[in-house]
Structure 1
Amino acid sequence: MFHVVDTMSLAREDRFEWWCQEVARSAAPTRISSEHAADFAGHVGMLSAGPLRATLMAFPTLHSERTARLVRESDPETYELALVLNGTMSVAQERREVRMSDGDFVMWSSSLPYTGLVSGQGDGARVARAVVLHLPRTSLPFPDHRAAALLATGLTARSGVGAVLDRHLRAVLDEAPRLEEAAAAAVGETTLHLVRALLATRLDRQDLLEPETRSAALLARLEAFVEQNLADPGLTPQAVAAHHHISVRQVHQLFRARAETVSAFIRRRRLERCRADLADRRLDHLPVHAVAARNGLADPAGFNRLFKREYGMPPAAYRRSLPRPPRAQRQESVRRSAMTG
């Protein structure tokens, strides 16, 4: 379901040709040129999750062009939705051109000619990173003439559904190597629901969304709100409902799709954050109770019981069971952590 290939495993003279072939296979035949073609260092991760196909790409500056002739010769009839993770991406299609950067979405169609330029940026970085979702035209709930209004336009990921989809995709990429088939299929469905919600919102045509898509998008917003507010001891189902202007009953109904109550979800994510913090060497200077408090668990005794029930040992014992560097190295780690905030 998730396969990774690095061009550095290939002979130098074969790397760029392989990259061009891989783009043609995963998206559509495209003319690609790069000043780094002689020694092309690229990284590709391919994810197949139920109905979703996605490609994570890291590569040096390149220029791409899909001509009218290439469209006539081969057309998978997809929309390509890219999230820029690092660098800049310029796309021109349908007499429009847009330049996007880190944290932006941009969409183009395989059925129309287009040009693109992608490059790294900042601190001399040469490598750009992006995740591209390959969306069959039939997977969107509106006709092609509606979708055409979104091609080569700015789709922000900094607020609303865009921000939720951004965080969702980054989490999916982090967990992709460990996803089992059933979980991957569910993740793929959720991702498509969020994509539809983002595009429908941009078109102001939420009325075209199916009820299942609306519910999935709202649930993702609730989960994102929880993730952002785990440190707040007052985070409750009531607080989640009030923030989103819905009833507590609706919150519970939405979380039934996860086979987990909202309270259980909050508790599990807090414990997972605590466990990660206890394993983080940069936080060795924090007492166990402080680790719990920074994740919204203000009762030390209650935290100890919850942690032991979940992980089989008290939090202090868990921290002691982890390998630790020498004292001098720990002190340097703490010093650097304090300097960086």
Structure 2
Amino acid sequence: MLNETEFRSADAPAADRLAYWAERVGQTHAPVRMTSDHAHDFRAVQRVIDLGSVSVWPATFQQLVIRRTPRLIRRSDPELYHLSLLLGGTGTGSWDREEAVYRPSDLHINDSSVPWEIRTGKDPVTAVGLELPKALVPLPRGADCRSVPKRVPAGTGIGALLAQFLSQLIADTACYRPADAPRLGGVVTDLVTAVFAHALEAENSLPPDTHRRALLLRIKKFIQEHLHDPQLTPAGVAAAHHISISHLHRLFENEEATVAAWIRRRRLEAARRDLIDPALRSCAIHAVAARWGFPRAADFSRAFRAAYDITPTEYRSRAAAADTSPRH
């Protein structure tokens, strides 16, 4: 399991909870000033997931006005970029004469070295915060911290890749080992770098390795969304991303499987989950196979047995028997 800590403002006396939360944000991001309509009994919950140089923190909190002032910057500047994936609630951010309005599925971005103010709406905010050192994010030539975008849509493109990654990460940290933390932090850093560069219309200025990994993540997301298509092939994947088949194979050279094997494994895993789903028990095995890109039942049975050393029929029967056993 990843190293993770949890904070609840309710652990402090009611009158101290807003100050307690401000101190917590000061440790997680950078020192800030806070005011709230709920200062008499402020409610906030936060998890902090340690990914080495990067930290991710899902949180829910009540209405706030948060300020990062020039005086606070002079006193302490950890030189971090902060990103928040907004899942619920609204907010408005301002920097000098610039302003941005945030709604669910937006990525809000700020910089610990630049003064800013965030005002959230009256409803509680649920967001996934992300902190990473600015030194890890190479900006394109000619760009500086003030040119970094303040708002990025997370519904499409690279913003959606980052949002999906963060959502999956926070959903279940138990499936990872502590040794995975720096690797996951590296993926986050690459995605943030790609988000910045794309927003600055300078994607070609990305370091080659960052560009490669961002492209690989985009390709894997595409494959996952098209597993049902029996025509999904390496050639089709390459064409959809405007690269050659040889380039696609090079991207997968350091992965656990070739492109074709990766597609087949994802299809088999999806079919395997459906076979043991009680809600789908009346669905014929050939229909499950077709649903995940195996139009020929015989091909599915051979692939399934080769992967799991059991036929689909036997696998489903064992799962059904386990569901009805007295011990279960």
Q: Which TM-score band applies after superposition, normalised by the shorter structure?
A: 0.7 to 0.9
CA drift at 1:4: 4.0
| Structure 1 contact 81–105 (Cα < 8 Å) conserved | yes
> 2: distance between equivalents of 1:165 and 1:31?
29
Say which of 45, 48, 62 aligns to 2:47: 45
In the aligned structure 2, how far is the partner of 1:245 from the partner of 1:231?
21
Secondary structure at the aligned position of 1:286 is classed as: coil
The CA distance in 2 between the partners of 1:276 and 1:16, in whole Å, is: 45
Residue matched to 1:214: 211
Q: Residue 272 of structure 1: SS of its match in structure 2?
A: helix
**Following the alignment from structure 1 to structure 2, what is the Cα–Cα distance between the partners of residues 82 and 71?**
20
CA shift, 1:303, in A, is: 2.7
* 1:309-341 CA-partner distances (Å, limit 9, x unpaired): 4445434225414537xxxxxxxxxxxxxxxxx
One-letter amino acid of the structure 1 residue matched with residue 95 of structure 2? Q
Distance (Å, rounded) in 1 between the aligned partners of 2:170 and 2:262: 21
Query: In structure 2, how many angstroms separate the alpha carbons of the residues matched to 1:276 and 1:58?
Result: 32
Q: Which moved more, 1:74-83 or 1:167-176?
A: 167-176
Q: Note if 1:227 corresponds to 2:216.
A: no
Give the equivalent residue in structure 1 for 2:64: 62
Partner SS, residue 295 of structure 2: coil
What is the alpha-carbon distance in structure 2 between the residues aligned to residue 106 and residue 251 of structure 1?
32
Displacement after TM superposition at 1:197 (Å): 1.1
**Which one of the candidate residues 60, 75, 79 is aligned to 2:77?**
75
Name the amino acid aligned to 2:147: A
How far is the alpha carbon of 1:11 from its aligned partner?
4.7
Which residue is equivalent to 2:181?
A: 184
Structure 2: 5+ residue runs without aligned partners? none
Quote the offset at 1:261 in angstroms.
1.0
2:109 equivalent in structure 1: 107
Q: Distance in 2 between matches of 1:173 and 1:79?
A: 19
Correspondence 1:262 to 2:263: no
Offset of residue 155 of structure 1: 1.1
Shift of 1:225: 0.6
Matched residues in 2 for 1:12 and 1:144: separation? 49
Please give the residue correspondences for 1:234-313 in structure 2 after superposition, counting only pairs within 5 Å. 234-311=231-308, 313=310
Structure 1 portions without partners, runs of 5+: 121-125, 325-341
Query: In the alignment, is residue 320 of structure 1 matched against residue 320 of structure 2?
Result: yes
SS at match of 2:31: coil
Partners in 2 of 1:206 and 1:49 — Cα distance? 25
- Structure 2 match to 1:330: none
Q: What TM-score, normalized to structure 1?
A: 0.84
C-alpha separation in 2, matches of 1:109 and 1:98: 14
Asked whether the 8 Å contact 1:34–1:61 carries over to 2, the reply is yes
Mark the CA change 1:286 to 1:119 in structure 2 (over 3 Å): closer, same or farther. Answer: farther
Identical-pair percentage: 34
Match of 1:335 in 2: none
Partner of 1:28, secondary structure, is: coil
| Structure-2 residue corresponding to 1:85 | 87
Question: Post-superposition shift, 1:79?
Answer: 1.4
Deviation at 1:203, TM superposition (A): 0.9
CA contact under 8 A between 2:9 and 2:21: conserved in structure 1? no
What is the CA–CA distance in structure 1 between the aligned matches of 2:285 and 2:41, rounded to whole Å?
A: 49
Q: Structure 1 203/284 Cα, relative in aligned 2: closer, same or farther at 3 Å?
A: same
- Greater Cα shift, 242-251 or 315-324: 315-324
Deviation at 1:173, TM superposition (A): 2.2
Deviation at 1:27, TM superposition (A): 0.2
Alignment match, 1:32: 34
- Tell me the equivalent position of 1:10: 11
2: CA distance, partners of 1:83 / 1:48: 17
Q: Normalising by the residue count of structure 2, what TM-score does the alignment of the two structures yield?
A: 0.87
Measured in 2, the distance between the counterparts of 1:322 and 1:58 equals 39
Using the TM superposition, name which of 69-78 and 6-15 deviates more.
Answer: 6-15
Q: Whose helix proportion is higher, 1 or 2?
A: 1
Instruction: Identify the residue that residue 145 of structure 2 maps to in structure 1.
Output: 147
Question: After the TM superposition, which of the residue ranges 248-257 and 271-280 deviates more from structure 2?
Answer: 271-280
Which residue type is aligned with residue 146 of structure 1? D
Distance 2:107 2:262 in 1: 29
Change (3 A) 1:311 1:104: same
Distance 1:41 1:308 in 2: 52
Displacement of 1:8:
6.9
Q: Per the alignment, do residues 255 and 21 of structure 1 end up closer, same or farther by CA in structure 2, a change over 3 Å counting?
A: same
**What's the CA shift for 1:24?**
0.8
